[in-house]
Amino acid sequence: MIKGFEHFKLPENWKLCTTKDIAKLINGDRGKNYPSRQHYVDRGIPFISAGNLNEGKILFDNLNYISKKRYDLLNNGKLIEGDIIYCIRGTLGKSAIFSNLENGAIASSLVIIRLREGINRKIFFYYLDSPFGKQLIKHFDNGTAQPNLSAESVSKYLIPLAPLPEQHCIVEKIEELFSELDNGIESLKKAREQLKTYRQAVLKHAFEGKLTGEWREQQIQAGNPPEPAEKLLPRIKKERETQYQKQVEAWQKACEQAKRDGSKKPAKPKKPKDLPPLIEKELAELPELPKGWRWLRFGQIVHDLKRGPFGSAIKKEFFVPKGIKVYEQKNAIYKSAMMGDYYISNEKFKELSGFEVKAGDYIVSCSGTIGKIYRLPKNAEKGVINQALLRIKISEKLLEHNFFLNIFESSHFQTKILKDTKGSAMPNLAGVKELELVPFAYCSLTEQEIIVQEIETRLSVCDKLEQTIEDSLKKAEALRQSILKKAFEGELTKEWREAHPELISGENSAESLLARIRTEKARLAGDGKQRQHRKVGKK
């Protein structure tokens, strides 16, 4: 029995059935005519992927379109009004009702649930989002590294089916309760966005030198002005050369070891190159900086920028139960060195030593959820980055770590590192060469430390408020799930059933409804066979 359904008690005249009993399931087309990026057009028929589903809605911001000609070539995955779109690969369970659109098609990561007559689409949609729907996902998920369901497994979902009049009543009760709840959630989300705007405003002022204007004036009056960035340039260059020499020494030792082992030599580290100074046109587009500050290239400040190896360099067959850790994008996104279960052998690590990361290094997510940065803590395992990560190393002699983190997460910098993603289903981080050229506001190390203090003073209250909002949103979601649980246990309509026994019994019962659906399915199947026989006869 599916966990969570062991003691499930149905109200009178309800019936436990499966998705297959009350719906037709249709996969996205996986054939030779499946649309790829080259088939997308500026306007046409919506081609919906998992990334276009969020909070029960279809998002149009990054929606791709295909031509009528390409649409006509598809054998499967064509949408009609009222279809439920359901995600079966990646973020499982995301769903939306296809409505207010003439036609559309789905990607292979989705499945269409086309309900039979007599089933309220909204009640089925709400059921998928309920605790029971989430438990079904856990039960049928194949448990591999990539969360996965299939149309076949979704067809086996257990569904507590109420009589049609009660289905309508349940939807009304849910939406009545959700209305007030959603208003509160909307207010919380608005407050959260306002805090994000405030946070970015603080960071913007910080990296334009506006938070430390008074401090600089005090230092000047005391005869101790901050060291100007101009004088720091030779020091920056020397520090980069020192770090490069350390890399060369480590590489030479690795080559000697490879020679003794008879293994492949690692690639030689690249010598830091002199980057071109910012030209007048670039400077004109940037905010004016205080005296003593300077706009530099990002590549001048960091002494290492390294994108992870191509996917073919770290294949699943290389993984071992225990060995050298492979850091993944989720380590950067969720800011945790503990996540992930993939390891490679010491022998494989020697081939990939150029992609090594250790405590103190920064890792950055590079595709999908991009620009998330995390500094590996002191207790982090030595490892390698995969193809979805970027490695950054900095010198404490040049950059205060929290100054670097804050400037990297500022909207100014994040905008600059975004690669042009027009026509792409997934955003990407700019390439290493492009990142090296991104403008970076630089000042003395002492002022960097003061800036961090000013930021933390202002944002500590912001952090507390954000946490309060997140806690409230979690409570709201728990209440939403509680409402849905009661709805599909019949609790919300208990009094309604007592007042309307004639609407849930006899011909109106769920059992009679299922019988009518079975009859209609058999009739449609018979009509289909007759049409097929006629086609064969004509031949």
Is residue 128 within 8 Å of residue 34, measured between CB atoms?
no
How far is 26 from 240, CA to CA, in rounded Å?
Answer: 58
The identity of residue 91, as a single letter, is: T
- Name, in order, each residue with C-beta under 8 angstroms of 305's C-beta and a sequence gap of 6 or more: 299, 390, 391, 392, 432, 435, 436
Mean pLDDT of the chain: 89
How far is 283 from 293, CA to CA, in rounded Å?
Answer: 13
Q: Based on the domain organization, do 395 and 347 belong to the same domain?
A: yes
Q: How far apart, in Å, are the Cα atoms of 219 and each of 74, 90, 135, 250, 450?
A: 71, 54, 62, 42, 12
What pLDDT was estimated at residue 422? 41
Q: Based on the domain organization, do 239 and 287 belong to the same domain?
A: yes
The predicted model gives 455-469 an average pLDDT of 94
How far is 518 from 524, CA to CA, in rounded Å?
Answer: 10
Residue 106 within any structural domain of the chain: yes
The predicted model gives 238-249 an average pLDDT of 86
Number of structural domains the chain divides into? 3
Domain final residue, candidates 126, 161, 196: 161
Q: Is the pLDDT of residue 495 over 70?
A: yes
Between 262 and 276, the higher pLDDT residue: 276
CB-facing half-sphere around the CA of 207: CA atoms within 13 A? 25
Measured CA angle at 139 (ends 134, 143), to 5 deg = 105
Residue 503 within any structural domain of the chain: no
Residue 289 within any structural domain of the chain: yes
Pairing outcome for strands 383-385 and 319-327: parallel
Domain housing 336: 230-443
Q: Which residue is listed with tokens 């079904």?
A: 136
Q: Based on the domain organization, do 209 and 347 belong to the same domain?
A: no
The pLDDT tens digits for 409-459 are: 898 888 877 654 443 445 567 788 888 899 999 999 999 999 999 999 999
Q: Based on the domain organization, do 221 and 234 belong to the same domain?
A: no
Q: Based on the domain organization, do 23 and 87 belong to the same domain?
A: yes
Q: Based on the domain organization, do 365 and 239 belong to the same domain?
A: yes
Q: Based on the domain organization, do 439 and 343 belong to the same domain?
A: yes
Residue 537 within any structural domain of the chain: no
Is residue 387 within 8 Å of residue 308, measured between CB atoms?
yes
Residue 123 within any structural domain of the chain: yes
The pLDDT tens digits for 350-362 are: 888 889 999 999 9
Is residue 383 within 8 Å of residue 344, measured between CB atoms?
no
The pLDDT tens digits for 115-157 are: 999 999 999 999 999 999 999 999 998 766 567 899 999 999 9
Report residue 395 as tokens: 């010198």
Between 344 and 271, the higher pLDDT residue: 344
How far is 269 from 272, CA to CA, in rounded Å?
Answer: 9
Q: Based on the domain organization, do 213 and 320 belong to the same domain?
A: no
Q: Based on the domain organization, do 156 and 171 belong to the same domain?
A: no
Is residue 409 within 8 Å of residue 417, measured between CB atoms?
no
Question: How far does the chain reach from its first CA to its final CA, in angstroms?
Answer: 49
Measured CA angle at 502 (ends 496, 507), to 5 deg = 125
Residue 536 within any structural domain of the chain: no
Q: Based on the domain organization, do 198 and 315 belong to the same domain?
A: no
Q: Based on the domain organization, do 150 and 24 belong to the same domain?
A: yes
Helix/strand/coil percentages in the chain, nearest 5: 50, 15, 35
pLDDT band at residue 527, thresholds of 50, 70 and 90? low
Residue 90 within any structural domain of the chain: yes
